[in-house]
Amino acid sequence: MSNEAFHLLSRGGVSFKKSDSRGLFKPLKSNNPKGTELANPSTQIPAELDYFKYAQGGSSKRKPKDEIHQRTGKRRKIEAEDSEEDVDSAPAQEGPAISHRVSAKGKNVPPHADTFEAMKANGLPQRLISNLEDFGYKHPTSVQAYGVPILLAGRDLVAISPTGTGKTLAYLLPLFAKLGSPAASSIVDVGVGVRAVIIVPTRELAHQIHNECLKLAQGRKWKMVLFSKATANTLSQKGARDKVDIIISTPLRLVAALQEGILELNNVRHLVLDEADRLLDTEFLSQLQEIVASCTHSSLQKALFSATLPAGAEKLAMEMVNDPIRIVVGLKDTPLPLIAQSLTYVADDPSKLPSLLSYLAQPYNPPVLIFTSTQTRATSLAEELVLNGIQNVDCLHAGLTHKEREDAASRMRKGESWVMVTTEVMGRGMDFKGVREVINYDFPTSVQSYVHRIGRTGRAGREGKAVTFFTDEDAPYLKMYTDEETFRIANVILQSGSSVPDWILKLPKPSKLKRRLMGKVKRPDAVNPARSVGRRDAIKRSLIPTRDMVMGSKRRTGKAGEMSKKES
Ligand SMILES: Nc1ncnc2c1ncn2[C@@H]1O[C@H](COP(=O)(O)OP(=O)(O)OP(=O)(O)O)[C@@H](O)[C@H]1O
């Protein structure tokens, strides 16, 4: 199905209204069937995990951490290591701003700053603080409170902080502060060529960060380039590229420009790797090494950020930085307790579609993000949902054109997509604040993938819900066991305060072979085997009824729209 036809089929006429970020700290209402209201988050989040300062000492509706540890029978090893090996860890702070656990390792860790105002003493200009006030940001999050002073002090940083806790700003604030003023208007010698590079694994994320830069840069004429084929061509003229302050790019694009000789990175003083563990994966590693090797300026500062950093990636990360400080906010590789997680047994692959359809037949909180394992399955599932009358279905994966991808992301931001079917491409970094529910239609291939995927909800202090379907084939990979490297999804769920049925905990340990096969479960391209015969005809035939259905849904969704408006 072409993307256009797909939209024609799937569009209803109502956008749910997303509140802007100023409303992030207000109590949320849900449109759940019973009409029960989610309690005020300020009474729910454990203080130590209150990244957005809701709790300020409030109690949690989820299980307190000690209780969780009793259930898991063991406090996670990595966490114990963090606290035992802290060097110069900043002291626990009285007061509302920093009331949760942050561990900092490294020599001479600069003290953290409780407020944006206090960061002035570290060199954060008033201009940036005023911009933050305009966004309605009152306090720094933990990763900002600790990370900004470290980066402003010129130190290399490896920062691990849960999804949706404001890592982007934690590196952008010091970046703008350290760059001082745009090269074009600087009165001091800033050298020739780009001074800061931000590398991210996907184009969508690069786009999002570019937008964040534009917001933060208000009032100054920074030259910030979202690197693409088109911009690479423009930058092939030396005059144009010498005026660039910041480049945001995926590794592939940047390496291509380096190899073609249309870009030099010898004036880069700040290199940021966002989603660092993904960038240190074998897929990107050699490109990344080439980029790092091209940044030859003597005062190059490196900052690596991610919500997850498995041991192998952490080793590579630590080798890449000089005299670094490593900070860990909350529990490493663990989702926020704000996300209510559950596992749903669906026997086999063909049973997933009916399970999903019955899930979506109940009132749900749009937008919902649904993850599949491949592009073909994403397309197939999106089509099935449309054919089954689900409204405002969208699809985004790397097999679409750039324009289609950008349009889909933009519809999501505007609240026009109620159900977005996607792949790993949206799993990391994407910040759609309104996402209420994530469904892992296909079981994630690693704990990191799980943590990032479900981290698309529960952002910036909001509550979220994550449902993971698992089949008989997936079951071996749920099992908890204590080898830190192979911590599995059931552990992660328990660790972050949601519950896991006992029968899952009693599943046998997977064999070594099964562990090696993790993520290699072969799934058919079509999510509905019955549809594989005459699929195109079926879609064609359904065009008219589906349009009628969409028109009908416009009338019906008047109600749903009102409901959504009330809650946002
Ligand atoms: N100090 C703050 N106060 C309120 N909201 C904030 C603050 N800092 C950031 N945010 C908002 O929190 C949301 C999440 O931020 P961001 O995308 O940087 O998270 P992240 O930690 O990078 O997540 P991920 O690991 O998924 O990439 C964004 O919408 C951002 O605007």
- All structural domains of the chain, each given as residue ranges with its CATH number in brackets, are 102-329 (3.40.50.300), 339-532 (3.40.50.300)
Exposure class string for 414-434: b at 16+ Cβ within 10 A, else e: ebbbbbbbbbbbbbbbbbbbb
Closest to 245 measured CA to CA, from 222, 275, 213, 271: 222
pLDDT at 60: 35
Using the mean position of ligand 1's atoms as its centre, give its distance from the Cα of residue 457 in Å.
Answer: 12
Distance 314 CA to ligand 1 centre (A): 22
**Residue 427 CB less than 6 A away from ligand 1:** no
Q: What is the dihedral of CA 491, 493, 499, 505, to 10 degrees?
A: -30
Cα 227 from chain centre = 20
Dist. CA 557–CA 253, nearest whole Å: 42
What is the structure's pLDDT at 47? 45
Residue nearest atom 13 of ligand 1, based on CA coordinates: 460
**Residue 442 pLDDT more than 50?**
yes
Q: What is the pLDDT of residue 1?
A: 53
Among protein residues, the one with the nearest Cα to ligand 1's atom 20 is: 164
State in Å, rounded, how far the first CA of the chain is from the last one. 33
460 CB within 6 A, ligand 1: yes
- Ligand 1: which atom is nearest the Cα of residue 460? 12
Helix (H) or strand (E) segment spanning residue 313: helix 311-320
Least confident of 198-212, 414-428, 543-557: 543-557
Exposed, middle or buried by CB within 10 Å (0-12, 13-18, 19+), for 513? exposed
* CA of 139, closest atom in ligand 1: 1
Q: Is the CB of 70 under 6 A from ligand 1?
A: no
Report which ligand 1 atom has the smallest distance to the Cα of 212.
Answer: 31
Residue 377 and residue 526: Cα distance in Å, rounded? 6
Does ligand 1 come within 6 angstroms of the Cβ of 464? no
**Sign of the alpha-carbon torsion through 238, 240, 246, 249:** negative
Length of the chain: 568
Lowest mean pLDDT among 26-40, 124-138, 278-292, 304-318: 26-40
Burial class (CB in 10 A: 0-12, 13-18, 19+), 20: exposed
CA dihedral over 167, 179, 264, 289, signed as positive or negative: negative
Choose the most confident range, by mean pLDDT, from 80-84, 165-169, 259-263: 165-169
**HSE-CB of 261 using CA atoms within 13 angstroms:** 0
**Residue 439 above 80 pLDDT?**
yes
If DSSP codes are grouped into helix, strand and coil, which group holds residue 531?
A: helix
Mutate to test the pocket of ligand 1, among 21, 115, 175, 332 (most ligand atoms within 8 A of CB): 21
- Here the tokens at position 63 are 């299980």
- Find the range with the poorest average confidence among 210-214, 289-293, 339-343, 472-476: 472-476
Higher-confidence residue of 59 and 390: namely 390
Confidence of residue 519 (pLDDT cuts 50, 70, 90): low
Is 383:54 a contact under the CB 8 Å cutoff? no
| 175 backbone dihedrals φ, ψ, rounded to 5° | -60, -50
Q: Do the beta carbons of residue 390 and residue 11 sit within 8 Å?
A: no
Pull the structure tokens for residue 343: 């596992």
Exposure string over 200-228, b if 16+ CB within 10 A, otherwise e: bbbbbbbbbbbeebeebbeeeebbbbbbb
- Per-residue pLDDT averaged across 293-310, rounded? 95
Positive/negative CA dihedral, 434, 437, 441, 447: positive
Q: What is the 3-state secondary structure (H, E, C) of 22-43?
A: HHHHCCCCCCCCCCCCCCCHHH
The average confidence (pLDDT) of the chain is 77
Per-residue exposure over 45-58, b if at least 16 CB sit within 10 Å of its own CB, e if not: bbbbbbbbbbbeeb
Q: Which of 62-66, 429-433, 463-467, 506-510 has the lowest mean pLDDT?
A: 62-66
Cα 95 from chain centre: 29
pLDDT tens string 171-183: 999 999 999 878 7
DSSP state of 307: S
More confident residue, 82 or 227: 227
169 closest CA partner among 113, 216, 234, 223: 216
Residue with CA nearest ligand 1 atom 27: 429
Q: How confident is the model at residue 478 (pLDDT cuts 50, 70, 90)?
A: confident
Half-sphere exposure of residue 249, counting CA atoms within 13 Å on the CB side?
28
Q: Report the pLDDT averaged over residues 159-187.
A: 90
Ligand 1 centroid to 210 CA: how many Å?
A: 14
Higher model confidence: residue 253 or residue 64?
253
Q: How far apart are CA 553 and CA 528, in angstroms?
A: 24
Digit-coded pLDDT (tens) for 265-275: 999 999 999 99
Q: Which amino acid is at 379?
A: T
Distance of alpha carbon 428 from alpha carbon 452, whole angstroms: 5
Residue 319's pLDDT band (cuts 50, 70, 90): very high
Strand locations in 36-151, DSSP E? 102-105
**CA 467 to ligand 1 center in whole angstroms:** 23
CB of 455 closer than 6 angstroms to any ligand 1 atom: yes
* Closest CA to ligand 1's atom 4: 137
- ipTM above 0.95 for this complex: yes
Distance separating alpha carbons of residues 172 and 72, to the nearest angstrom: 38
3-class SS of residue 54: coil
Q: Higher-confidence residue: 9 or 182?
A: 182
Task: Order the strands of the 464-470 sheet from edge to edge.
Answer: 339-345, 464-470, 437-440, 368-371, 419-422, 393-396
Which residue lies with its CA nearest to atom 8 of ligand 1? 166
Instruction: Answer yes or no: is the C-beta of 166 below 6 A from any ligand 1 atom.
Output: yes
Instruction: Decide: 163 in ligand 1 pocket, CB within 6 A.
Output: yes
Worst-scoring range by mean pLDDT, 119-128, 288-297, 521-530?
A: 521-530
Residue 380 above 60 pLDDT?
A: yes
Residue 147, ligand 1, Cβ within 6 A: no
- In one letter, which amino acid is 436? R
Residue 228 has pLDDT above 60, yes or no: yes
Indicate whether residue 169 lines ligand 1 (CB < 6 A).
yes
| DSSP at 154 | T
Which is the closest atom of ligand 1 to the Cα of 138?
Answer: 3
In this structure, the residue with its CA closest to atom 10 of ligand 1 is 166
C-beta of 457 in contact with ligand 1 (< 6 A): no
More confident residue, 556 or 88: 556
Average pLDDT, integer, range 181-192: 74
Q: How much of the chain exceeds pLDDT 70, in percent? A: 71
C-alpha span between 379 and 485 (Å, rounded)? 33
Distance 431 CA to ligand 1 centre (A): 8
Q: What is the C-alpha to C-alpha distance for residues 206 and 212, in angstroms, rounded to an integer?
A: 10
Chain-centroid distance, C-alpha 344: 23
Q: What H or E segment, with its residue span, contains residue 70?
A: helix 65-72
The per-residue pLDDT for 41 is 35
Residue 73 has pLDDT above 70, yes or no: no
Residues ≥6 apart with Cβ < 8 Å to 446: 518, 519
The residue whose CB lies within 8 Å of the most ligand 1 atoms, and thus the one to mutate among 26, 129, 169, is 169
431 Cβ below 6 A of ligand 1: yes
Residue 548: pLDDT band (50, 70, 90) is very low
Lowest pLDDT segment from 66-80, 182-196, 290-304: 66-80
Judged by average pLDDT, the poorest of 5-9, 99-103, 173-177, 321-325 is 5-9
Contact (CB, 8 A) for 279 and 288: yes
Closest CA to 267 of 290, 244, 235, 234: 244
Does the Cβ of 141 fall within 6 Å of ligand 1?
yes
